Chain A
Amino acid sequence: MEYIARRVLYTLFVLWAVASILFLMFRLMPGDPRAAFIDNTFTAEQQQLLLVQFGLDQPLYVQYGKYMVNLVQGDLGMSFIYKRPVVEMVMEVLPNSLVLTLTSLIIAYAFGMVAGAFLARMRGTWVEGVTIPVVLATRAAPEFWLGMVFLAIFSFSLGWFPAGGASSAGITYDSFWQQLVSPDYWRHLALPVITLTLYLQGLPLLLMRSNMLEVMEDEFVTMARMKGLSEWSIVMRHAARNALLPVATAFALGVGFSISGNVVIETVFSWPGIGRLLVTAVSSSDYPLAQGAFLFITVVFVVANLIADMLYAVLDPRVSHGSAG
């Protein structure tokens, strides 16, 4: 209990620090939010009006104070260019980002763990000689390149999958849930997920493999062998469970990393998501929107970390979080 309270306090501190850094970072960056409006016939008074509207005519500490007060109340402000509440904008695209990220991560980690365990058993055989370079190559290939190659093959040449977007032209949905269960949505999701999965699978696979190699040398495995347990039972029930711990951490961190790093996939496949929102916001100096989007990503990151920590205790009884341990 005390541990959880400590963790929550620590999380709040991290969020405050990130929010403050974000606030300063965007204001110190070159560029003026008015620049996004230059192409309109603006007079000096109108430009001044914009600054007042954005609250940018006030001293920095006043802006910061307002920002923090609003933030505590869950108000991230109003986007300069979209003229809509930031929370609303982020919530609109976050589900698509989460679906893309979580689907890819789950497939990548499920595959990576099984394949990693398998490859550990194949140590020294020709299978290892062929597979490891392939895994390394897909892991090292840039996402946009991989994405373009898949587009060229599976969309342009074979016509199996659409070339972009989240739904076919003209299909409309009443709610996100309705969209989520439609086959059309998953057909559009396929190529981005395959690309992201290939990119993500290398880490869990290699991690699992090296952990397995290590664990298989441990005494309890020798013990199990001496007990005459089947090889399957040794690998899956005893060794794999121990090798899994670092992979679980990597998964949690992976959620945070890929949510923010998906901008490349989102751009190649025109997939709606928070990465694209972020790029638009930063390039047009839309401070509230950029701050808000980054803050959301931070929250996802921190929460994923917290869950990983908790998960550790479940997976490995030896890890205990109390002072009693």
Chain B
Amino acid sequence: MRDFVKQTRRAFLSSVAATAVLAPGVVLAQEAGEPIRDIVIWARTQAANPQAYTAAQLIAQAWEGLGLNVEIRGVPRPQQSDVVWYNRDSWDTTMWQMVGRPERSDPDELVYNLFHSTTAESGYNFVGYNNPKFDAVAEAQRIETDDNKRQALIKEAQEILAADQPYMMLVHPNKVFAYNKTVWDPASIVEQPGLGIKNFWTFVGATPVGDQKDMIINSSDELNAINPLYISGATDSWITELIWDRLMRIGPDGLPQPWAAESYKWVDETTLELTLRDGMTWHDGQPVTVEDVIFSFEAPAMGDEAPMYKPFVENITAMEKVDDKTLKMTLKEPSASFLTSTLSKINLIPEHIWGPILQDLLTKPENAEAYVEEGRIGSGPFKYVDWSVQDQVVLAANEDHWSAPKMDRWILRIVLNVEAALGMLRSGELNFLSDYTGDPLILVELAEADPDIEIVESTDIGFQFLAFNNRRPPFNDANFRRALSFAVPRELMDGAAWNGYAVPSNSVVSPVLPFWYDDKVLPIETGPEVAKKLLEEGGYQIVDGKLHYPAGGKETLQP
């Protein structure tokens, strides 16, 4: 039946086409709309992100098979951001990525911020996705404090996204790490889903086997700052989370667990009671008090002193000391992710140091982000020792901490040259490769040649995708987005663009978070035939090898 319909349709089309050829004045308006403009895919340059660029080339090929002309524009990151983020009406599609961070273990940030319609104008919803039904689900999960009910909502959100395809999800990349197992006991190295073995739990728990008791790790990024009130860069955050404690920490299972707070209790939906651990001290010897904790949550809201942390404390309306160990927080509205996005994020800072500094800064034009507190006094498991710019940062184990590290020192070296980092791993100048941006195969070969080196491969919470600009026709049509998305086999992306070091994806929630991940979104049927069928259902037509809008559709935009 279907074949019959298709055939008559094709016969009809060719007869229309023939008429058009015979009589040039006749327009095809009755059946097909105007041809769709050339489509641009923005991307980083090939050298800067070879995987994403290869992916863009494969995508372009698949789309050209549907009758589109596709141009890939590889540009430096600032230029790409300028177009995609600040000129939101000006682009069609772009390669993009979201990186994995501990607090993204809670799906709220990815589900709500990326797709809620209120963040479309200038917030994270840069693709301009707008679906009231989705908004409702995203809002509901945010205030649902019952985990099982919230899980159902998160899964529903993923299914709506899978149907609407505001993004064409590609892969969750695998990260590769390595360490010297004659230096570190493999049993003490913790793999945190989505983050790999470079995480807080490894740094606190890693046990030295021999005489080398310093962990020497690497980063290929320059450091910006070490400041508890400034979210300055990815590598910087590895350091801040070791020096400054937090009330909760994201555990190896991806869920928040009590840390500086010994326990917490929801008195009602908007009141939280927290009990502090006994005997905590700051690195200068002073005790950590309830007043310090309250101050730490007040500080980001003082004027514009810490604008990056301010949003995370805005839901707190009041804090109250109950006794020497207990405090009560009152929230404006119920929040499911409060433990993750606020309590696991805000650094505890000593009031006796920062109180006078902030009072002084309030009268000055600079804010706390520009203040360098030389001592970097926190209460975390590591103490700050030294930072020599562009070279290394040295932290020492805080032996007085209730969860004291097993290592002596934690040393971060800035190594810009990937090959040099590998050489340093073999020579012992590094004993923990925490940042590797090169070809995973080279690292695997190195480990085969050197039995001391252990490699750990880990799937990321972050993801790589192609974003459709949902504001611009024809990408404002979910049928069209679905067709273009399903034209591309995800296995091809994983295999050809990421060399097998990734897992295919169709959800912003990573499969490494099994509690939140909806396994119904994959596998999906892909390929040119699937795409053509979807296009046909949406009324789009391929005429003389060129894709046209549905009947009456006009092209109003420039590529």
Contact B429 A43 (CB under 8 A): no
Tell me whether A288 is interfacial, beta carbon within 8 Å.
Answer: no
Contact B390 A272 (CB under 8 A): yes
Tell me whether B426 is interfacial, beta carbon within 8 Å.
Answer: yes
Chain B's nearest CB lies how many Å from the CB of A70? Answer: 13
Q: How far is the CA of A89 from the CA of B429 in the complex (A)?
A: 27
Contact B394 A283 (CB under 8 A): no
Chain B's nearest CB lies how many Å from the CB of A171? Answer: 9
With A31-B82, A166-B388, A276-B390 as contacts: A155 and B427 at CB distance below 8 Å: yes
Contact B85 A38 (CB under 8 A): yes
- Point out the residues of chain A lying under 8 angstroms from B86, CB to CB: 32, 34-35
Tell me whether A92 is interfacial, beta carbon within 8 Å.
Answer: yes
Pick the most buried of A78, A270, A284: most chain B CB atoms within 10 A of its CB: A270
Chain B's nearest CB lies how many Å from the CB of A111? Answer: 27
Tell me whether B435 is interfacial, beta carbon within 8 Å.
Answer: no
For A92, the closest partner residue in chain B by CB is B389
Contact A173 B76 (CB under 8 A): no
Other-chain contact of B417, A40, A78, A269 (Cβ < 8 Å):
A269
Tell me whether A172 is interfacial, beta carbon within 8 Å.
Answer: yes
Chain B's nearest CB lies how many Å from the CB of A92? Answer: 5
For B223, the closest partner residue in chain A by CB is A82
- Point out the residues of chain B lying under 8 angstroms from A169, CB to CB: 214, 216, 392, 411, 413, 429-430
Other-chain contact of B78, A172, A268, A285 (Cβ < 8 Å):
A285
- Point out the residues of chain B lying under 8 angstroms from A159, CB to CB: 427
Tell me whether B55 is interfacial, beta carbon within 8 Å.
Answer: no
Tell me whether B124 is interfacial, beta carbon within 8 Å.
Answer: yes
With A156-B427, A276-B222, A283-B76 as contacts: A32 and B390 at CB distance below 8 Å: no
* Segment touching A, from B146-154, B366-374, B437-445, B538-546: B366-374
* Chain A positions 174-191 with a Cβ under 8 Å from a chain B Cβ: none
Tell me whether A254 is interfacial, beta carbon within 8 Å.
Answer: no
For B390, the closest partner residue in chain A by CB is A272
Contact with B along A248-280 (1 / 0, CB 8 A): 000000000000000000111110110011001
Tell me whether B28 is interfacial, beta carbon within 8 Å.
Answer: no
Q: How far is the CA of A41 from the CA of B307 in the complex (A)?
A: 11
- Point out the residues of chain B lying under 8 angstroms from A276, CB to CB: 222, 390, 416
Pick the most buried of B124, B231, B414, B420: most chain A CB atoms within 10 A of its CB: B420
Chain B's nearest CB lies how many Å from the CB of A150? Answer: 11
For A39, the closest partner residue in chain B by CB is B99
Other-chain contact of B411, A30, A53, A170 (Cβ < 8 Å):
A170
Q: How far is the CA of A170 from the CA of B372 in the complex (A)?
A: 22
Contact B414 A38 (CB under 8 A): no
Contact A273 B123 (CB under 8 A): no
Contact A31 B81 (CB under 8 A): yes
* Segment touching B, from A5-13, A44-52, A218-226, A311-319: A44-52
Chain B's nearest CB lies how many Å from the CB of A288? Answer: 12
Tell me whether B131 is interfacial, beta carbon within 8 Å.
Answer: no
Contact A83 B370 (CB under 8 A): yes
Q: How far is the CA of A266 from the CA of B414 in the complex (A)?
A: 12
With A30-B79, A284-B78 as contacts: A267 and B416 at CB distance below 8 Å: yes
Contact A163 B390 (CB under 8 A): no
For B86, the closest partner residue in chain A by CB is A32
Chain A's nearest CB lies how many Å from the CB of B44? Answer: 12
- Point out the residues of chain B lying under 8 angstroms from A32, CB to CB: 78, 81-82, 86
Chain A's nearest CB lies how many Å from the CB of B470? Answer: 19
Tell me whether A61 is interfacial, beta carbon within 8 Å.
Answer: no
Contact B388 A83 (CB under 8 A): no
Tell me whether A112 is interfacial, beta carbon within 8 Å.
Answer: no
Chain A's nearest CB lies how many Å from the CB of B51? Answer: 19
Tell me whether B547 is interfacial, beta carbon within 8 Å.
Answer: no
Contact A151 B390 (CB under 8 A): no
Contact with B along A48-75 (1 / 0, CB 8 A): 0110010000000000000000000000
Interface size on B, residues (CB 8 A): 59
With A38-B85, A164-B415 as contacts: A283 and B77 at CB distance below 8 Å: yes
Tell me whether A202 is interfacial, beta carbon within 8 Å.
Answer: no
- Point out the residues of chain B lying under 8 angstroms from A44, CB to CB: 121-123
Chain B's nearest CB lies how many Å from the CB of A202? Answer: 24
Contact A35 B121 (CB under 8 A): no
Q: How far is the CA of A53 from the CA of B308 in the complex (A)?
A: 13
Tell me whether B391 is interfacial, beta carbon within 8 Å.
Answer: yes
With A42-B123, A81-B224 as contacts: A270 and B99 at CB distance below 8 Å: no
- Point out the residues of chain B lying under 8 angstroms from A152, CB to CB: 423
Chain A's nearest CB lies how many Å from the CB of B346? Answer: 14
Q: How far is the CA of A149 from the CA of B76 in the complex (A)?
A: 29
Tell me whether B526 is interfacial, beta carbon within 8 Å.
Answer: no
Contact B85 A165 (CB under 8 A): no
Q: How far is the CA of A30 from the CA of B82 in the complex (A)?
A: 8
For A285, the closest partner residue in chain B by CB is B78
- Point out the residues of chain A lying under 8 angstroms from B366, CB to CB: 78, 83
Tell me whether B113 is interfacial, beta carbon within 8 Å.
Answer: yes
Q: How far is the CA of A49 from the CA of B392 in the complex (A)?
A: 32
Q: How far is the CA of A163 from the CA of B414 in the complex (A)?
A: 12
Contact B429 A163 (CB under 8 A): yes
Tell me whether B304 is interfacial, beta carbon within 8 Å.
Answer: yes
- Point out the residues of chain B lying under 8 angstroms from A115, CB to CB: none
Contact A165 B391 (CB under 8 A): yes
For B396, the closest partner residue in chain A by CB is A170
For B220, the closest partner residue in chain A by CB is A270
Q: How far is the CA of A165 from the CA of B389 in the complex (A)?
A: 11
Contact A35 B77 (CB under 8 A): yes
- Point out the residues of chain B lying under 8 angstroms from A207, CB to CB: none
Tell me whether A148 is interfacial, beta carbon within 8 Å.
Answer: yes
Contact A162 B113 (CB under 8 A): no
- Point out the residues of chain B lying under 8 angstroms from A241, CB to CB: none
Contact A84 B78 (CB under 8 A): no
Q: How far is the CA of A267 from the CA of B421 in the complex (A)?
A: 12
Tell me whether B31 is interfacial, beta carbon within 8 Å.
Answer: no
Q: How far is the CA of A277 from the CA of B233 in the complex (A)?
A: 16
* Chain B positions 280-300 with a Cβ under 8 Å from a chain A Cβ: none
With A165-B413, A277-B390 as contacts: A148 and B419 at CB distance below 8 Å: yes
Tell me whether A93 is interfacial, beta carbon within 8 Å.
Answer: yes
Tell me whether B232 is interfacial, beta carbon within 8 Å.
Answer: yes
Contact A167 B81 (CB under 8 A): no
Contact A173 B388 (CB under 8 A): yes
Pick the most buried of B231, B311, B415, B417: most chain A CB atoms within 10 A of its CB: B417
Other-chain contact of B369, A83, A162, A280 (Cβ < 8 Å):
A83
Tell me whether B109 is interfacial, beta carbon within 8 Å.
Answer: yes
Tell me whether B385 is interfacial, beta carbon within 8 Å.
Answer: yes
Contact A41 B82 (CB under 8 A): no
- Point out the residues of chain A lying under 8 angstroms from B427, CB to CB: 155-156, 159, 162-163
With A43-B123, A44-B123, A170-B214 as contacts: A49 and B304 at CB distance below 8 Å: yes
Q: List 16 A-B contacts (CB under 8 A).
A: A32-B81, A40-B231, A43-B311, A81-B233, A82-B224, A148-B419, A151-B419, A162-B424, A164-B417, A167-B391, A169-B392, A268-B416, A270-B391, A270-B415, A272-B391, A276-B390
